[in-house]
Amino acid sequence: MSWQVVLAGFCVSLIFGFSFLFTKNALDHLNPLTFLSYRFFVASVLFVALKFFGVIRFEKKPYWKLWRLIIFQPILYFLFETMGVARINSSEAGMIVALIPIVVNVLAIFMLKERGDSIHYALLLTSFLGSVLIVGFNMTAQNLFGKLLMLLAVFSAALYTINARKFSKEFTPEEISFFMMLSGFVFFTLLSTLTGQFKLLLNVHTVSAALYLGILSSAVAFFLLNYMVKHASPILTSLFSNLTTVVACLAGVIFRGERIGSEQILGVTIVLASLFAITYRSRQTKTEFFNRRKVTHDNVNTVIHVNLLGKNLLLTPHAYERMIERGVSLEELKNVLESKDSRAMVQRNGRIKVSDGHIEVILQPSAAVLYLVTVMKKGERRRKRSSPDSIV
């Protein structure tokens, strides 16, 4: 990660960490739906002003697609989070938020087809045990429901984190944040009005909370969050919620006199330690990746014989880099192309696809040799409709 992403993550963690404190203070005077209308009104005014002065510009894009992102955040996340914070301590809410990276890691297995080794899954299991310590003690009828609501908020945030990566390729952070804030204001204002809960109450606690959460937490922090998601993977960006947990706990203890149980402190420690271990291992993997890329020029114009086609493949430095980016080693490529068990198919565009059932290689025929177009592992292949192929 670049230093800009790290700085953005640090600022987001501080802002979100104190947001639980401001939310709790405001909920002492307002119901959750009304307060959500307040905070998103402030955020919407800010973003409309930025649009008016030309800071935010729109292009002709299918913005309607963002509903699949907005449904998770701000709508579901803030609905569950605010109602949850109203029923439990702000420090407990901050500790439960630490579970977001765990849920992201688990959902990534199914939604992004990302796989880890046995150590990775052991760390996730350890994190889960830590989460049990956080949530499973000091239970009453009221805070049990509050903790369940916070867990639903955690799942909503995790789904947002995973889906935001996809949308960030098509929309800018400013565009995503603008429609998130505007949608939040419209939704929560209508919901609070239709349910008869909306009321106008202006005092120091409600106004300060609305300004802090509307400007910093809802607008600035989400702009930074969308920037992070655009420039780093969902798993790494979600790890900054660890700092959010620490800030939230300290703010609740110092400013509201809240108490944290020893078992909850142990649970947070286990969760944070596990996630730091996951982060460290991901950095080690990334370092190995770049070390492997350094040997690119040692493989200039490597020739591999394609036994199935009776021709040689000329592996250029550019093709080698793309191969390494896909996580395929030179030895694996040779095994696919030189194996008698592989199958070759001619595509309509004239290119040749060679596969051994695990790795697929796309080749471009030339007069005397073949050139590597791309290579991918079968599990990472995008599910696209492909044109019918004919077997050679």
pLDDT tens string 311-348: 777 766 667 766 776 778 777 887 887 777 788 888 87
Token representation of residue 219: 């607008």
What band does 299 get if pLDDT is binned at 50, 70 and 90?
Answer: very low
Report the alpha-carbon distance of residue 40 to residue 182 in Å, rounded.
7
Would the pLDDT of 204 be above 80? yes
Is the domain spanning 296-391 CATH 3.40.50? The answer is no
Q: What was the pLDDT predicted at 201?
A: 86
Report the alpha-carbon distance of residue 213 to residue 167 in Å, rounded.
24
Single out the residue of 171, 170, 188 nearest to residue 73, CA to CA: 188
State the average pLDDT over residues 289-296: 46
What band does 293 get if pLDDT is binned at 50, 70 and 90?
Answer: very low
Q: What was the pLDDT predicted at 234?
A: 58
pLDDT digits (tens, 9 = 90+) for 145-192: 888 999 999 999 889 988 887 787 788 878 888 899 899 999 999 999
Question: What strand order describes the sheet that includes 390-391?
Answer: 302-306, 311-315, 369-377, 359-365, 352-355, 343-346, 390-391
Q: What was the pLDDT predicted at 118?
A: 76
Higher pLDDT, 330 or 115: 330
Q: What was the pLDDT predicted at 260?
A: 74
Report the alpha-carbon distance of residue 191 to residue 185 in Å, rounded.
10
Would the pLDDT of 3 be above 50? yes
Token representation of residue 257: 């006199």
pLDDT digits (tens, 9 = 90+) for 244-277: 777 877 788 888 787 777 877 887 788 778 777 7
Q: How are beta strands 359-365 and 369-377 bridged, if at all?
A: antiparallel
Instruction: Give whichever of 55-59, 70-74, 266-270 has the largest mean pLDDT.
Output: 70-74
Is the Cβ–Cβ distance between 391 and 345 less than 8 Å? Answer: yes
pLDDT digits (tens, 9 = 90+) for 205-225: 889 999 998 888 877 887 787
- Long-range contacts (CB closer than 8 Å, 24 or more residues apart) made by 140-145: 142/87, 143/87, 143/88, 143/92, 145/87
3 state SS of 264:
helix
Task: Name residue 360's beta-bridge partners.
Answer: 355, 376
Q: What was the pLDDT predicted at 153?
A: 93
Would the pLDDT of 290 be above 60? no
Would the pLDDT of 366 be above 80? no
DSSP secondary structure, 281-295, as one string: HHHHHHHHHHHHHTT
Would the pLDDT of 57 be above 70? yes
Single out the residue of 291, 247, 287, 246 nearest to residue 269, CA to CA: 246
Q: Where are the domains of the chain?
A: 3-291, 296-391
Is the Cβ–Cβ distance between 173 and 230 less than 8 Å? Answer: yes
Higher pLDDT, 348 or 77: 77
Count the neighbouring beta carbons within 10 Å of the beta carbon of residue 211: 14
Q: What was the pLDDT predicted at 193?
A: 93
Would the pLDDT of 392 be above 50? no
Q: What was the pLDDT predicted at 387?
A: 41
Task: Name residue 314's beta-bridge partners.
Answer: 303, 371
DSSP secondary structure, 196-252, as one string: T------SHHHHHHHHIIIIIIIIIHHHHHHHHHHHS-HHHHHTTHHHHHHHHHHHH
**Average pLDDT of the residues of the chain:** 78
Instruction: Give whichever of 44-48, 85-89, 127-131, 247-251 has the largest mean pLDDT.
Output: 44-48
User: Of all residues in the chain, what percent carry a pLDDT higher than 90?
Assistant: 10
Is the Cβ–Cβ distance between 134 and 94 less than 8 Å? Answer: no
Task: Name residue 352's beta-bridge partners.
Answer: 346, 363
Q: What was the pLDDT predicted at 300?
A: 43
Q: What was the pLDDT predicted at 154?
A: 92
Q: What was the pLDDT predicted at 51?
A: 87
* One-letter identity of residue 185: F
pLDDT digits (tens, 9 = 90+) for 15-43: 888 888 888 888 888 888 999 999 899 98
DSSP H or E segment with residue 314: strand 311-315
Higher pLDDT, 64 or 334: 64
Report the alpha-carbon distance of residue 82 to residue 184 in Å, rounded.
13
Q: What was the pLDDT predicted at 384?
A: 43
For 343, list phi and psi in degrees, rounded to 5. Answer: -120, 145
- Which residues, at least 6 apart from 272, have a Cβ–Cβ distance to it below 8 Å? 98, 242, 245, 246
Q: What was the pLDDT predicted at 126?
A: 82
Single out the residue of 204, 82, 232 nearest to residue 146, CA to CA: 82
Residues comprising the chain, all counted: 392
